[in-house]
Amino acid sequence: MKQGAGPHLRRSLTVLAVVSVVYLVVAMFVTNSYYQLILTLVPVWALFGVSWNILSGYGGQLSFGHASFFGIGAYTVTLAVIYWGLSPWLGIPLGMVIGGLAAIAIGFPTFRLRGHYFALSMLAYPLAILYVMQYLGFQEVSMPMHRESGLRFMEFSEPRVYTLIAVLLLVGGVVVSLVIENSRFGLALLAIRQNELAAEAAGINARLWKMRSLVVSGMMGAVAGGFYARVLLVVTPDSVFGMLVSAQAVVVTLFGGVASVWGPVIGAAILVPLAETLQAELGTYLPGIQGVVYGVAIIGIMLLSPDGLFWTIRDRWFSREAPQPIPDAAPDVAPPLRRASHATGPLLQVEGLSRSFGGLRAVSEVGFSIAEGEILGIIGPNGAGKTTLFNVLNGVLAADQGAARLDGQPLLGRKTFEVCRMGVGRTFQVVRSFPRLPVLDNVIVGAYGAGLSDREAIAQAVRALHQVGLHDRSGVPAGQLTNKQLRLMELARALAGNPRLLLLDETLAGLGREECDDVLGVLARVRAQGMTICIIEHTMHAMMRLADRFVVLDHGRVLATGLPRAVVEDTSVIEAYLGKKWLARRDA
């Protein structure tokens, strides 16, 4: 559990219990079978929305084709009854397993894609399955009745029992979703949604977490579909794999409030009865009018409350609680976890590293080394290949040639999050924060990335915030920080993973004189505690005060290496920075 999640979770569970009981009590008084059906369908579609929300709301992996899982669940339950005489009590869990397997089969190739491509590929799966189902002759499959053993086959003459089961299934889904929301699972997903590269650089295995969220989501979607088939008794490819099914999950969630567990519940509670009532009341007089009204309703709500009802209501009537101050643990409570050095050589050894983009050699046969406890400055004019060098070192880009070893361990060819876990922290030229998460959560992402337990992760995050002097801002969303604070927060995120080496990419960029001095002070403190730092910087002035040694890059090559004073007087360096003319004038 995340820090402070306990009371939050307890409150949510209380709300859930009260709402479910009230809903069931109301349902018990409804005798009209049509309204009973609506009351059963509300939790089913809410559950399907909750399932979509885990992948697309928290994780931001927009899926247009969640009907795959709904349909798989529905057909599994129905066909299992028909061919094997398997009760839906077992068929629904079986559908869950198959839904989970389908999620793995779908996720494995599809997570190679991002953004629009991912969303559209997801759309293609249910439609392809839809046509295959038609081809196989499952156009309209009805669930056989077993009047003699109703209970065993989830058959009840009393429709309100279905409402009860539906509510229980939804409660299960909401609890799973709440646990995810309040754990490192949810934090990893939120981080991935807001900035995937930053999450990877902080040690989060984005691919793995996305896959887990798809599997959980797929299993939950299959449960919703399986139970839907049991309630409606007839499945057709269009009614369970069709585009409107996928759209239903998206609509109830976005209407109610995306990335909140209550969103899909609120959305389903309003839209499902609305659609059904319109269908019943208006459909007979003027076919089509219900669709028009429904369309107007969802457009209207989207324009009035773009994030969904839940967030609008919360922001308007429940003003945000003041950010809770974090327990002010003294920085010495959690000493930085030191990793023992294995080798006696330099901490980082880079040899003959090259990387080209088409014909441009951005990094060309670069070699240097960093000793433990040293600050190495990498300087060079724009386009010298400094950031590309960092991207190759921490696995964002692959190297064409060369080798890099951290404490004797090869570094190249690993994924970004693996490099981070080996002990290489990274900050970015343009700050990559998770703007909607509070500062503390931003930093905890880094600690989770290093594989720490919850307690340790929080302790390390608090320590890192103290180290950079940002502990008093820990409850504020990162989006509200100043540039300097963002830079420090990114530094804290890297420090929270207990790195052995920090790669800092233009940490001082865009800072004023005084801010610059503050950050330099923090870096000096970090270094005094034994951290090894490799920093890219433009401002020569600041670098002269900070770095022990310089490596000068120009056109991707190492131009000079050595002590700062010697390097800045090297004529080839001056030429690279200021040009031949300037040099000639100086010498004249």
Nearer to other proteins by C-beta: 397 or 535?
397
Half-sphere exposure of 572 (CA within 13 A, CB side): 10
Report, in Å, the least distance between residue 103 CB and other proteins.
16
Report, in Å, the least distance between residue 387 CB and other proteins.
15
Selection from 142, 168, 148 nearest residue 232 by Cα:
142
| CB-CB contact of 420 with 449 (8 Å) | yes
Q: Is 48 in the site for other proteins (CB under 8 A)?
A: no
Nearer to other proteins by C-beta: 123 or 567?
123
Nearer to other proteins by C-beta: 69 or 125?
125
3-state secondary structure of 268: helix
Q: Give the contact letters, 55-74, x = binds to other proteins (CB under 8 A), - = no.
A: -----x-x-x----------
- Between CA 49 and CA 57 the distance in angstroms is 10
Q: How far is CA 434 from CA 189, 198, 439, in A?
A: 11, 8, 9
Q: Is 134 in the site for other proteins (CB under 8 A)?
A: yes
Nearer to other proteins by C-beta: 131 or 156?
131
DSSP code at position 350: E
Nearer to other proteins by C-beta: 416 or 532?
416
For residues 276-315, which are near other proteins according to CB under 8 A?
Answer: 286-292, 294-299, 302-303, 306
Q: Does residue 297 come out as left (phi exceeding 0), alpha (psi in the -120 to 50 range) or beta?
A: alpha
| CB-CB contact of 213 with 189 (8 Å) | yes
Q: Which amino acid is at 109?
A: P
CA 443 to chain CA centroid, nearest Å: 15
Report, in Å, the least distance between residue 448 CB and other proteins.
21
For residues 428-447, which are near other proteins according to CB under 8 A?
Answer: 435-436
| CB-CB contact of 532 with 339 (8 Å) | no
Nearer to other proteins by C-beta: 64 or 75?
64
Q: Is 486 in the site for other proteins (CB under 8 A)?
A: no
Token pair 């609680």 in the structure block, residue:
321
Candidate segments 88-96, 119-127, 378-386, 405-413, binder of other proteins by CB under 8 A: 119-127
Report, in Å, the least distance between residue 257 CB and other proteins.
11
Q: Is 117 in the site for other proteins (CB under 8 A)?
A: yes
Q: Is 123 in the site for other proteins (CB under 8 A)?
A: yes
| CB-CB contact of 348 with 499 (8 Å) | no
Q: Is 10 in the site for other proteins (CB under 8 A)?
A: no
Selection from 395, 481, 384, 468 nearest residue 431 by Cα:
481
N-to-C CA span, the chain: 69
Q: Give the contact letters, 176-205, x = binds to other proteins (CB under 8 A), - = no.
A: -----------------xx-xx--------
Nearer to other proteins by C-beta: 323 or 435?
435
- Between CA 353 and CA 386 the distance in angstroms is 12
Candidate segments 248-256, 385-393, 465-473, 532-540, binder of other proteins by CB under 8 A: 248-256
Q: Is 120 in the site for other proteins (CB under 8 A)?
A: yes
Q: Is 35 in the site for other proteins (CB under 8 A)?
A: no
DSSP-derived secondary structure for 95-116? HHHHHHHHHHHHHHHHTT--HH
For residues 252-271, which are near other proteins according to CB under 8 A?
Answer: 254-255, 258
- Between CA 469 and CA 473 the distance in angstroms is 9
Q: Total residues contacting other proteins (rule CB under 8 A)?
A: 52
Return all residues near 250 (Cβ < 8 A) that are at least 6 apart: 52, 56, 64, 66
Torsions phi, psi for 65 (to 5 deg): -130, 45
For residues 377-436, which are near other proteins according to CB under 8 A?
Answer: 435-436
Dihedral of alpha carbons 254, 256, 262, 266, sign? negative
List the one residue from 34, 84, 89, 135 that touches other proteins (CB under 8 A): 135
CA 490 to chain CA centroid, nearest Å: 17
| CB-CB contact of 494 with 446 (8 Å) | yes
Q: How far is CA 5 from CA 102, 180, 388, 454, in A?
A: 32, 11, 40, 11
Nearer to other proteins by C-beta: 3 or 290?
290
Report, in Å, the least distance between residue 489 CB and other proteins.
18
| CB-CB contact of 336 with 498 (8 Å) | yes
Return all residues near 290 (Cβ < 8 A) that are at least 6 apart: 275, 278, 279, 282, 283
- Between CA 460 and CA 457 the distance in angstroms is 5
Report, in Å, the least distance between residue 134 CB and other proteins.
5
Report, in Å, the least distance between residue 142 CB and other proteins.
20
Nearer to other proteins by C-beta: 135 or 582?
135
Nearer to other proteins by C-beta: 248 or 498?
248
Torsions phi, psi for 438 (to 5 deg): -65, 160
Candidate segments 90-98, 105-113, 216-224, 563-571, binder of other proteins by CB under 8 A: 105-113
Report, in Å, the least distance between residue 247 CB and other proteins.
6
Contacts 24+ apart (CB under 8 A), 152-158: 152/87, 152/89, 153/81, 153/87, 153/88, 154/87, 154/88, 154/89, 154/230
Candidate segments 4-12, 131-139, 371-379, 579-587, binder of other proteins by CB under 8 A: 131-139
For residues 215-244, which are near other proteins according to CB under 8 A?
Answer: 243
List the one residue from 15, 26, 97, 124 that touches other proteins (CB under 8 A): 124
Secondary element (H or E) of residue 44: helix 33-52
Report, in Å, the least distance between residue 291 CB and other proteins.
3
Q: Is 550 in the site for other proteins (CB under 8 A)?
A: no
List the one residue from 247, 403, 509, 544 that touches other proteins (CB under 8 A): 247
Nearer to other proteins by C-beta: 271 or 422?
271
Q: Is 104 in the site for other proteins (CB under 8 A)?
A: no
Q: Is 273 in the site for other proteins (CB under 8 A)?
A: no
Provide the binding-site residues for other proteins, judged by CB under 8 A.
60, 62, 64, 109-110, 112-117, 119-121, 123-125, 127-128, 131-132, 134-135, 193-194, 196-197, 243, 247, 250-251, 254-255, 258, 286-292, 294-299, 302-303, 306, 435-436
